[in-house]
Amino acid sequence: MKHKDIPLNERIIFALDVDSSAKAEEWVRRLEGRIRFYKVGLQLFLAGWFSIVDWITARGHKVMLDLKLFDVPETVKLALRQIRNHEVTFTTVHGNDPILKAAIAEKSRLGILAVTVLTSFGEEDMKDTVGAPVRIDDLVLSRARSAINLGCDGVVASGLEAARLRNDLGDHFLIVTPGIRPGGNVRIPADDQKRIVTAGNAVACGADHVVVGRPISTAEDPLAVVESMQKEIQKVLG
């Protein structure tokens, strides 16, 4: 497996899962000496709109706008036209082929990440989700293959499936992995993630970026957690 040439301070995408722009700015200022990539999800985007995105990118950092767009293709196309007016690096789309095609057609320089299966889902959730029993790794592979063939720049997938995606689909696309947890018996408050791995394991299995929120934001020493995870990643990269 060939690892992409990505700076260490962009390997971790810190999830700004906060309810105000002020709190987001505080976290960016606190972490920007070590992290240059930030995720803006639904909660923060609804609180700060594009102004917080623009504030982060104006400081020279990258943004993953994680809105998991899922709507009729025309609506998704028009949403992409709004997003591409800002310096967003990645945005996420969670939909079928027509939805992905609409996003790809409008992306310009914007990277499109197709969401495969949310890391909060376990095998027991699959029947309710897709209407029939199915293995998660089979569904992730099927959705990832379709997304890459359509022209998506990458996928969002658990580290548990990353190795199979690399083995079956190659190295020419990005894998962004949420559900990252520290090693050892570290408890994360209100944890809803089921398919989890450590930062080092995710990269070893083929992830290019890892999305990390609560393991950093709830830590007594957030910067120490960042440093530890970056050391894990660097050890894998060699």
**Which of 12, 29, 31, 87 minimizes the C-alpha distance to 57?**
87
Helix (H) or strand (E) holding 97: helix 97-105
* d(C-alpha 137, C-alpha 84), whole Å: 32
CB 176 within 8 A of CB 207: yes
- Report the distance separating Cα 53 and Cα 51, nearest Å: 5
Choice among 23, 68, 101, 194 that is catalytic: 68
Which uninterrupted H or E stretch holds 147? helix 136-150
68 is catalytic: yes
State phi, psi for 145 to the nearest 5 degrees: -60, -45
Annotated active-site positions, please?
68
